[in-house]
Each structure stands twice: as structure tokens, then as C-alpha cells.
Structure 1
Amino acid sequence: MDLEKLKLIISKHDVISFDVFDTLIKRNLGSNKDVFRLLEYKVNKLLGTSKKIYDSRIAAEANARKRCTYREVNIDEIYENFDDSYIESEKNLIKKMELELELLVCTANQELQEIYNYCVSIEKPILIISDMYFSASDINKILEKNDYLHHKIVYSSCDERITKWEQGLLFKKVLEKERLLPSQVLHIGNDKNADFKKAKMQGLSAFLIDEGELFPTYYDEEGLFSQEIFTYNWINRFINNNMPIKENDIFKIGYEVFGPLLLGFTKWLAQQVEQKKLKKVFFFSRDGYILKKAFSLYCPNIDSKYFYISRKSVIRPILQYDKSFDDMVKHYKSWDKSFTLEYVLDRFCITIDDVVLDKFKLARQDRFNIDTLKIDQRVESLFDFIKEQIFSDSKAQAILIQSYFYQEQFYGNVGIIDMGAGCSIEFALKYYLKQENLDVNPFYFYLHSAIEENTTRNIFFDSGNKTKQYKVLLRFCYMFLEIFLTAPHGSVKGYQVIDNKVEPILADFEYIGGGKVDEKYYIQELQRGALSFFKSSMNQFIDEDISTNIALQNFKNFAITPTLEDIKIWKDYRVILDELRPLILSSKASSFEDSINSIKNSPWLSGAIIEKTKNRYLMKLIFKFYYLFKKYK
């Protein structure tokens, strides 16, 4: 919409009138009648019934229009014609809830709010003219709730008993009541007949607005169950209507893609914590950083802490109990396909001179995989040589981490929130608690994990063999979860005492510049966007069940079938493997084999495929066939 053009037209008129629904106000639902579907769900949930209120509401309005002598009916007359099987108190309750739901799902049209405020700023009188079964008083409540506060008066067709739609008679009446000439007034609305043609029929100037897209960029309901589609549509209409239009692209991806995931996980987590009657929950660094922010907003009365801990900081204290290098290696459940000796030394917090490495015919950049690492005699000899140093450090860290636990009141029944994945930290912590005989009874709540649930392990979505669709999804785009959950600080290496307080020793933050994009800024904006959605939507969906499928749907659509613009934005973002590596690798040569290798080795596999093929539909087919192959393999 050309807002500057509209502002110029406004400046040439004395009075500006606005339509309401789909003009100043948008509904966060797939269609206008979805209000009645939502009404049915809410009423039946409240009363414990299964009545077909949607059908009854539509029939009641049709009957009211047949029986009433006026051109337009009001909400009271509609409910007077409601299904006779409902008693009066039930009809009144349903009517009251309909008005409440309209207040809930109605939101300001951002572009038209700018126009409305422009009219206020240049002191143009504003009239509101609506064809609607709600009274002017009810319409005004909706407008005021959405910060439309400076209009002179609201005219509703149900109060005046005439409409804009038929011959523009409501316009004519407004002109008479306000003592205005048609040429003085510009009417702005979305309906080609009522707001444009009929306004012009009565001599007014008229501006027809473009309603735009109903749904945002990453909307696609394919793959959802039928009972999930209504809520998914509601969420995406909310996104389309409420996402700040002047924000940057990364913020918008955070809002639309990661916001629903954050909302779904937080609602699930709140239910889990309530069911287990936990009084303390600890969000493990670094994955818990943004999750903690959302949970604190959603459950302000539950004691929650951001807890500085990592696989490394828990594994370090238990190395003293290991009998071999192989035992040490097993503490880490996941290893990259290929890594350097420097990477191994860092994992075990070993500081060693090159002179010592040279003694064992090793260099920091020597490469291994997990199998070759375990059988390399040089590495085993090195670790045998420095094991007393490792054990001494391990014992010191065991004392410090135990002090940190008591300092932060990490004892008794505690909830632990983490990404999960291979559960390395869980297994290491369990081993440590057993060795030290500490009074900690942990319940784990993971965003996802490939390890099955049990009495103390709860998972929002299973990324193991049990649920193939999520395992396949993460095969193509796992690193985006890592990116989203990255905290703005380095990993916890261990603990130290500063001013009689145990503090974490943090590694340097990985993103300190030097790349083609500013990764730290990307993380900040992605999280800011997701948190913006969370804050604005959590009351909208307070009673709704946000299933895992719904929460992940936009993430799946973005990560599996990104646009070429998405790829341009994200391809050079570097992710943390054994080294910083861009999400999409560039081919070093023009050969077909080299292109295939660059795709296979790219952390963002689906993005790499689309960059090469320029075909999102092809990538969608690849994903489907790969899923079917894994499902029936």
C-alpha cells in the first residue's frame, strides 16, 4: 500500500472516515466465521459439552435477518433467534463470550493505524462507519483496546438500521447528521462495493485499501493433522497481523519461525513443571538462555534460575574416576565426523606445550575421527603421561562444582531445562551425583532428544528413531536450533572462587568478528524477534494446546524450503563444529563431484541444495522421499 500517496489525498479533504473490520482492525483468524468456531471450542470447554455452536450461530444470524423488518440486525436480535434448545442464561453466556473473543482476536492494522495517527497529527476530524451487527459502543471497545482513541464518533449499521452496502444509505445519513458536504469527506475501506462504489455513489471521495496477504512467508499447513490446522492458522494470522512491519529480516524470521516454537515449548514446560509440582527449575547454559527468558514471563511465580553449567564443566570433575583414555572419551556422547587434537585437548581442558606434543609425535592440527582417536597409541601414551595432571584438576573442580550447587540451591527435587540432543550432560551429571552421593533429584525437560523418555526425562519432540519425521527434519537443518539457542557468552569450562563466591570460568565467545556476517547480531535479532512474538502472543493463546507439530511447522517450512533471499542472508553464517564453518559451503571447483561434496558437507543441507538447484519444490520432494525411505527402511 502506498501510504505516502494516501496521506497526500487525506491532506486535501476536511474529514476522514474509516471502515473498521479488515480496515482499521484485523482478526487474528483464518476467516471471519472462525470466530464462531473458536466460540464453539471455548464454550464447550467451559461447559463440558459438545454442542454445535458454530452452526447455531450462523443459523441464528440468518433467521434474524429473515424475521427482522430492518435492513441490519444487532447482536441481541441474533441471539434472540438462537437455537431454542439453549436456555436464556446459556444464550447470554455465549453472546458475552462472543464479544470477549472479538476483543481477544481483533488487532490493529499497522499500516492503517499509521494513517489514522497521521490524520490525528494534522487535526483531521475522524469518523468511523461500519456495516456490522455490533453496536457503536461495542465497536468502540474494540477500537480503544487497539489504541484508536481520537475519532469523533462511531456509526454502526445495526444502530442506524441502514447500511453502506445498499445504495450507500449509511453514508447519506452520516453526512446529514454531521452536516457535511460529500466533497468534504474521504472514506477509506477494504470492501470494493460498500466502501468504494457506494461511497462514490453518495458523492464522497473513496480510497480502497489492499488487504494484502492473509498469511506470512513460511505458512504451509501440509503435514498437519486436521485438528491442528485451526490453531496453526490462528497463530499465522496473528503473526501476519502483529509482526512489526519495519523490523529487519532476521528479526522477522525470529518472530515467525522461532516464536511459535518458543511458545509451544514454554507452554509444554509449564504444564510439566506443574504436574510434577516442582518449586525450582534450572535452565542450563547455554541452551537455556532464551528459554529462561520466555519461562520467566510465562510463569513469574516459579523460582527459575539460569545455571552456568556445560558438558565440559560436569565431565571435568568425573575424569578422576576413569581408568583409561577410552573411559574419558565415552563421557562425550557426540563427536564430529572429523576433528583436531586441539579440539580433543580443549574438550578435556588440557593445557599442554607443543614441546610435549612433539615428544609424542603429535601436533595440535592432527586430525582424527572417534574410531582412530581411540586406537591411536600416540594419543593414549600422551594421556597416560598427563593423567595425574588431569586427575588433580578433576578433584579440584569436583569441590568447586559441589560448592556452586549449594550456593545456587541446586538440591532436592529440581527441574533441569536443556536442549537435550544426546543427553551427554544428563549422563555425566548422573554419574557425578552418584559418585559424590549428593542430594539432588533431577527431572529433565528437553526441547528434543534422540534418547527415549522415562520417569525423569521428558521431551518436547523426539528426534530419535521413535519419531522419524523429526529425526529427518533435523538431518537437514539441525544447526538452526543451535543458532537460536546460543547464549551471548562462551561455554562454561569450569569454576573458580572470586570474592568468596563460586563463579563460572567462561571460554571466549566464539563470535568475535572476522566473518562475512556478524553472527552475534544475527543471534540477538533472531532471539529478539522470537521473544517479541512470545510476549505479544502468550495471552492470545493462553488456553490453546500448541502441539509439537504446530510449534515446529514454520521452522520446518523455513529450514527445509527456504527462499533464495533466506539463503543469501544465512549462507555465510558460521556454525560451531570443530571449527567455525559457514552454513553453506562454497564449491572450490566447477566439477559436479565438487558441487555434490560441498552440498553434503554443508551444515545446512537443504539450504545448500536449493542454492545449487534454485528449486524449492525439488527440495520438498527430496525431503518427502527421504522421510519415507527412513520410515520404511
Structure 2
Amino acid sequence: MNWIEYQNQEDIDYRRRFIEEFRFNFNEYKNKNIVLYGIGEKTKLILEEAKEFNFVGLMDKDTVGSVIYGLKVLSYDEVISSNVDLIIIVANMSVSELIYRRISFLKKDYGIEIKYINGTTPVDFGDEIISNDPYWLNDINKLKSEIEKHDVISFDVFDTLLMRKVLNPSDIFDLVERELYYKYNIEIPFKIKRIEAEKYCYNYIDKNYDIFQIYSVLKELLNITDNNLLNKIMQIEIELEMECCIPRSDIIDVYLYSIKKGKTVCITSDTYFNRKYLELLLRKNGILQFDKLLISCEEKKSKSGGDMFEYLKQLYKQKKILHIGDNQISDREIPQKYSISTFQVRSGYDLILSSLLKDLLINVKNSSDSILMGVSMFPLLKSPFSLNKGKGAIYINSMYDIGYSFFGPMVLNFVLWLIKMAKKERIEKLLFFSRDGYIIEKIYKKIVEFYDLDAPESIYFLTSRRASSVAAIENWEDVVFIIKNVCKCRNLKIKELINIAFGIYIEDKDEFAEKYYYEVTEKELLDYLYNYADLTFENAKKERANYLKYISSLTIKEARNIGCVNFVGKGVTQYCVSKIMKKDLCGYYFATEYDIKNIILPSQKAYGLYGELISPHLSKTSISTKYLFGEIVFTSPDGQLVKFDDNGQPVFEKNSINEFHFSIINECHEGMLAFVEEMIKLDRGLLERNFGNELIDKLYGLFTSHACFISDDIKKFFIVDDYYAPSRRGTNLFMD
């Protein structure tokens, strides 16, 4: 038997033993629904040979949604909803614990059993990973104290000195694929082949491979014959890495502190980027001064293999060395074997996994969701100590951050949907109702102008329930409509209600007018109102004429198909404005309430992206249950519109709460705009993205949940300002 025959026979024997052991370890699960975590050769072997088991899917963080070996790679949400009984981690035991940490919530929160491929059960680390996690005791001062004790300070690069704006490093490959398609009309499966090329390099070419070796393999995998095209693709990847990498604030501070203290500074990285590209990336992020740059692909040594630390130890004999990095194994356990001190800092992804944010990952179903979540979360996780103050909860002390991370994704997704829906309905003009539409219209215009879209003209349309409902009154049925659908606050005196709802001031202080609404029946109120019918109609006619003067000043007269945009609603303003204009309007809402079907006319349409016909009392989505936070944020510099004057100019309510707070609310608007600009800059195919509503709803609800710790300085600005409910005005949604 020659060597090749011998090796083949050994391989056959090993495969047989592997499958026999698999069957022995998991025999009791034959009739259970099993998911295999991993897409390597061992997974393929199991699927080919152990057909008596019921495998319902695969898991892998980089290829969610793909079909591999005939099975779909499932998202967290799909695993939860697929009645999975067991997840088997098919991976080298050196990395299996890391994988378990990533998915352990599926066991704890959803009861899905998890085992390693060797049949053992992972050790649970329980609730202490959040509130009692010793990591939360670390801070920048503790790290600086460690630096003081050492002569040489070694810094890891990715997820330590720098972080990416995306959730997973492989999201960069997805962005490259989109860039190739939308900018160069090149349609290739870049992401999956790029991952495959890197794995091939590690297994068969050089464990310390560089980017040129990766692209040499990729050339064959993608059957690219044009070297210029190959170089162009590689340059796109490098440019996107440059764009996506940003400094981690506290670690940069520590880096500068080390230099100031006269320490020897080394940059130590396992990376396929050569010196030229890595130095360029470091310079771009203000990392200009260091004594040594140790790169695995050039030194042909690695942190993960240990020989890089052995080399570092030889370079600085008799020196006390401290290595700072994020990886539990290559930045902590391995250097400690070479008597190198370590200080572990968590990556943004690991901060999510070990904190109250981890539930967000359940709703990341595809690469679009992964990119969206990464971009929305990175400002909050730039410091590895950002969750320490809240012991696993995000500390929020900025309205800008609230706008960027929690409102930005929701508004972006809505505007992308709006553009598609308006095109489908052949809308010519879009009226963005005030005050909700103030920032939404700005974001709509930004996207339309950036992509030079043939889209409906946007108009920030001044309106309100008060201004439109009174101007729409033409008969007694319209008065009844307002009582039933607009002014429902019972904690008002009758005279106050009539003034607020109809603009009629009652001078006579009769006994009924002094009663509260809750003291009378609806019929009694309407009977009393009938005494003021003529005055009500006269005032309404005047307000309608003035409103029409304003409308005539806009470019909507000739438009046949007009849409209107609002936050969450039941269609009152849409119905009333349509009645004033004598034109049907098509409504586009973040969510519509159940009553809308009884309010707008049968000839009118209304769509809700995040929910249609929802019950404000029974719905469980964040956008519906926490819409009041949105009402506060979606506002404008002006107060509530009351009516228009004889010249068609708006008359705003004076001294409204949000008017005084707008400078602070505007910071939230600036955050939303910045998020949208970031997504536009990163994603060429943004217009075609389909982001998950569940993820966006979770993000929106996050800042008011136990996962966030909001400072009192921010809480004080979330004040209710309801024109129809004076008793609720001034209510703080956080504190009252």
C-alpha cells in the first residue's frame, strides 16, 4: 500500500469512527429535530452518513439564508420557530465554547438543548453574564493602572484599537457584492466565495495568508480571467474596510497614554492585510506612532498559534509586557502561556452577546439586518467599557444617540418603503403632515436627491387634527364626528372642550358649561352643542376659506394622485384634509389603528408599514405601545397648528412645551439624518434592501426598555404635549 492509499484508508477509518461516535453520542436524539451549527466537512459527513437522524437545518453566523448541503442556514428567529429540540455545535473544541457563548440564550430563554460534537453539554454561566459579570468592574482607569506596571504595551487592532461599523466582519463582503452589482453591473456570489477562499488559504496554502493569496484563490473560485477586474474588486474591499473601520475611543486614549508615559508600543495583529494597507488604516484613524508593527501575514507568525507572542517575548527580554485585545483565546489565554500579562476588552459584538442587548440578535435574519444593526449600534459600543456603568445596559446621555440608533433605522426603512409604495400607487405629490412629517420629509428628500429618483414631490404640509377637523365642518354630522373621534378627553370642562375642539368661546357661565365632560353623556353634550351650531358652522366656514388660501399657495392643485404621510394614526387628519381639498388622499403610516377603517372614506386607501388596523390597547409591538415617544420626537420648531389667518398664514399655539424643547429634540433629528447618511454612504443597494420590521421594532423599543439606562438629563425632555388633553400636558413618559 502506497502513502496515498494509506492516507485514504486512514481517512475512511477516521470518517467511520467519527460517525460511529456521533451515533453513540446522540442516539437518544434520533427522533428529535436537530440543527447542526457549522458548515464544514464534518457537518457534510454527518449529513451524508447519519441519515437516520432528523436534521432540520444548519446554523452559521456568516451564511444565514443560504442553502448548504441541501439544508437552509437558519436565523435565530427561524431556529426558535422551527420546534428545534437540539443544536449540535460541529466545530473544533477550541472554538466551540465561543460559539456556545454566542448562542447560549437559545437554551436559557427558549429551552433548546445545546451540545458539543463530542457529546458533552456546555457549562452554563447563568445570569452573572449580565449583572454579576466581573467585566463590568473594568474601566479605563483600571487599564491605565495596568499600563503603569509594564514596559511594553501590545495592542490588537481589529475590535480593540479599531472597530467596524458592521455587526460581523463578513458584512464587508456583502457590501462589496452590492457595490459590484450597483456600481459596475457585476453580479457574482462574492461574499460566499470570499469566505470560502479565506478558509481554503488557511487549510491548504498558508495559515498566515495575506490578501493577495486570498484573491489568487478567489480568482479561480469566481472564474475571473481579467486581472484588472480582480484588482478592482480587491481595491473595493480595501476601500470599504477603510470606510467601515473607526477608532474605539477609550482604547485610543489608552494608546496615547502609553506613548505619553514613554512605554514601548507594539501593534500586534493576526490579519491578511500587509504592512502597506494596515499602516494606511492606522494612520487614517490617528494611530501614527508605534515601535513595532507585527503582522501575521508578514511575520509568518500568529497570535492564535502562539509563535507571535514567543517572538514578542524574545524582542523584549527582561521587559514586562502587557497585551490588550478582545479575543478570549488569542488575546488572553495564549499570551498568558508565554508569561505576558493581558487585559481583555470586549468587541462590540461580544458586548451585545454578554449584555441585555443580546435579544436583538434573534431578529437579525439576513445580511441586510446585520448591516443595519451594526451601523445603528456602533456609536453606542465604541468604547469597550460603554456598558459597564449600567452593568450590561447601555447608558444613554445624548438625544443624538437616541435619534441615530433607535429612530434612524425605523425612519430609513419607512422612507424606503414609502418610495416603493408611492410609485406603485402612481402618487404625484406627497404631503408630509405636520408636525410628524417635519424630519421624515427631510430624510425623504435626502434619499430622493442622492439617488436622483423619479419620485413624487414632497411637501411639508401644515395641518393638525384641530385645524383640519374644524375647517372640514360643513354639517351637523361633522360636529358629531369631532366629538366621537377627535376630542375624547373627559377631564375637561364643557366650555374648555368647545373652545379647544371648535374654536368657540362661551361667555355665558351657565351651569352646564362649567361641568366636566365626564359628568355628562355624549347625547347631553351634543344637545348642548346644538345651541351653538350656527356659530360653529360660521367659524368653520371662515377657517375653511383661510385653509384653502394656504392650500392654493402650494403646487398640488393639478395633481390627481396625492399621498399623505403620518406617524401612527387612525386617519382623522387624512379624512379631514381630503374633505377640505375635495380630493381623495392615499395615507402612508408607520402604523394604522383599527378605527381607521371606520373613519376614512371607502374610496381612500391607508397603509401601515409596521402594522395595520392595530389595537392601541392590545398590540404588543414597540411602535404601537410606545408611539407617544415618537409623537414627542417627530415634531417641528413650531407649536401646534390651530388654524390659518385671513391671509392664509399659519396660527400656531403659543408656548407649547415641545416648542421650547425643540433645540434638544433637533439633536435627535440630527442623529436620524446622520444614520441615514451613513447607510447611504455604505450601501450602494440601499433602495433594494428589505430590512426586518421585527428588528426595527425591537431597536425602537430598546431605549425605553431595561436594556438602556437613560440619564435624567435626557428623560426630562420626554414630555407629553397633547392639545386635546390639557390635563396630560407636562406628563413625563419616563418619570411620571
Classify the TM-score, shorter chain: 0.7 to 0.9
1:465 Cα deviation (Å)?
5.8
For 1:454 and 1:229, locate their aligned partners in 2 and report how far apart those are by CA, in whole Å. Answer: 38
| Aligned match of 1:20 | 157
SS, match of residue 728 in structure 2: strand
- What pairs up with 1:215-226 in 2 under 5 angstroms? 217-218=356-357, 220-221=359-360, 224=363
User: Which runs of 5 or more residues in structure 2 are unaligned?
Assistant: 1-137, 387-394
Deviation per residue, 1:31-81 (Å, 9 max, x gap)? 44454566567667889899765553344233323443x551111212322
Q: Is the 8 A contact 2:639 2:658 kept in 1?
A: no
For 2:295 and 2:625, locate their aligned partners in 1 and report how far apart those are by CA, in whole Å. Answer: 53
Q: Is the 8 A contact 1:196 1:206 kept in 2?
A: yes
| Aligned match of 2:440 | 291
- Superposed CA RMSD: 4.6
1:505 Cα deviation (Å)?
0.8
For 1:564 and 1:106, locate their aligned partners in 2 and report how far apart those are by CA, in whole Å. Answer: 25
Q: Is the 8 A contact 1:285 1:308 kept in 2?
A: yes
Which amino acid is 1:307 matched to? Answer: F
CA spacing shift, 1:175–1:136, aligned 2, 3 Å: farther
SS, match of residue 490 in structure 1: coil
For 2:351 and 2:708, locate their aligned partners in 1 and report how far apart those are by CA, in whole Å. Answer: 20
Q: Is the 8 A contact 2:568 2:591 kept in 1?
A: yes
SS, match of residue 351 in structure 2: coil
2:702 equivalent to 1:554: no
For 2:358 and 2:664, locate their aligned partners in 1 and report how far apart those are by CA, in whole Å. Answer: 22
Deviation per residue, 1:207-239 (Å, 9 max, x gap)? 433445136755524884x7x354334333333
| Aligned match of 1:314 | 468
Q: Is the 8 A contact 1:214 1:240 kept in 2?
A: no
Q: Is the 8 A contact 1:190 1:208 kept in 2?
A: yes
Q: Is the 8 A contact 1:164 1:171 kept in 2?
A: no
Q: Is the 8 A contact 2:322 2:340 kept in 1?
A: yes
1:248 Cα deviation (Å)?
0.7
- What pairs up with 1:145-544 in 2 under 5 angstroms? 145-150=284-289, 154-169=293-308, 172=311, 183=319, 186-196=322-332, 206-211=342-347, 213-214=351-352, 217-218=356-357, 220-221=359-360, 224=363, 228-243=365-380, 247-248=396-397, 252-272=401-421, 281-300=430-449, 304-319=458-473, 321-322=474-475, 324=476, 326-331=477-482, 333-336=485-488, 338-340=490-492, 341=494, 342-355=496-509, 357-358=510-511, 361-363=512-514, 365-367=516-518, 372-373=521-522, 375-376=523-524, 379-384=526-531, 386-413=532-559, 415-419=563-567, 421-434=569-582, 444-450=587-593, 451=596, 457-464=606-613, 476-496=625-645, 502-511=648-657, 523=665, 527=669, 530-541=672-683, 543=686, 544=689
| Aligned match of 1:589 | none
The range that moved more, 549-558 or 147-156, is 147-156
CA spacing shift, 1:63–1:471, aligned 2, 3 Å: closer
For 2:340 and 2:185, locate their aligned partners in 1 and report how far apart those are by CA, in whole Å. Answer: 51
Which amino acid is 1:411 matched to? Answer: K
Q: Is the 8 A contact 2:657 2:721 kept in 1?
A: no
| Aligned match of 1:79 | 215
- What pairs up with 1:82-101 in 2 under 5 angstroms? 82=218, 83-84=220-221, 86-89=223-226, 95-101=234-240
| Aligned match of 2:389 | none
Q: Is the 8 A contact 2:585 2:604 kept in 1?
A: no
TM-score of the pair, normalised by structure 2:
0.63
The range that moved more, 1-10 or 32-41, is 32-41
SS, match of residue 493 in structure 1: strand
Q: Is the 8 A contact 1:333 1:423 kept in 2?
A: no
For 1:318 and 1:260, locate their aligned partners in 2 and report how far apart those are by CA, in whole Å. Answer: 35
Q: Is the 8 A contact 2:498 2:505 kept in 1?
A: no
1:401 Cα deviation (Å)?
1.9
SS, match of residue 336 in structure 1: coil
Deviation per residue, 1:315-337 (Å, 9 max, x gap)? 33332x21x2x432315744436
1:421 Cα deviation (Å)?
1.2
For 2:708 and 2:166, locate their aligned partners in 1 and report how far apart those are by CA, in whole Å. Answer: 29
For 1:94 and 1:42, locate their aligned partners in 2 and report how far apart those are by CA, in whole Å. Answer: 9
For 2:709 and 2:539, locate their aligned partners in 1 and report how far apart those are by CA, in whole Å. Answer: 49
Q: Is the 8 A contact 2:588 2:608 kept in 1?
A: yes
CA spacing shift, 1:4–1:47, aligned 2, 3 Å: same
CA spacing shift, 1:406–1:218, aligned 2, 3 Å: farther
Q: Is the 8 A contact 2:491 2:727 kept in 1?
A: no
Which amino acid is 1:234 matched to? Answer: I
Q: Is the 8 A contact 2:357 2:707 kept in 1?
A: no
For 2:658 and 2:436, locate their aligned partners in 1 and report how far apart those are by CA, in whole Å. Answer: 19
For 1:524 and 1:580, locate their aligned partners in 2 and report how far apart those are by CA, in whole Å. Answer: 26
User: Which runs of 5 or more residues in structure 1 are unaligned?
Assistant: 435-439, 586-602, 609-633
SS, match of residue 578 in structure 2: helix
2:262 equivalent to 1:111: no
CA spacing shift, 1:295–1:75, aligned 2, 3 Å: same
Q: Is the 8 A contact 2:156 2:324 kept in 1?
A: yes
For 2:658 and 2:190, locate their aligned partners in 1 and report how far apart those are by CA, in whole Å. Answer: 58
CA spacing shift, 1:344–1:88, aligned 2, 3 Å: farther
For 1:582 and 1:392, locate their aligned partners in 2 and report how far apart those are by CA, in whole Å. Answer: 30
SS, match of residue 88 in structure 1: coil
Q: Is the 8 A contact 2:564 2:574 kept in 1?
A: no
For 1:123 and 1:415, locate their aligned partners in 2 and report how far apart those are by CA, in whole Å. Answer: 64
Aligned residues: 559
Q: Is the 8 A contact 2:490 2:516 kept in 1?
A: no
Which amino acid is 2:194 matched to? Answer: R
Q: Is the 8 A contact 2:584 2:603 kept in 1?
A: no
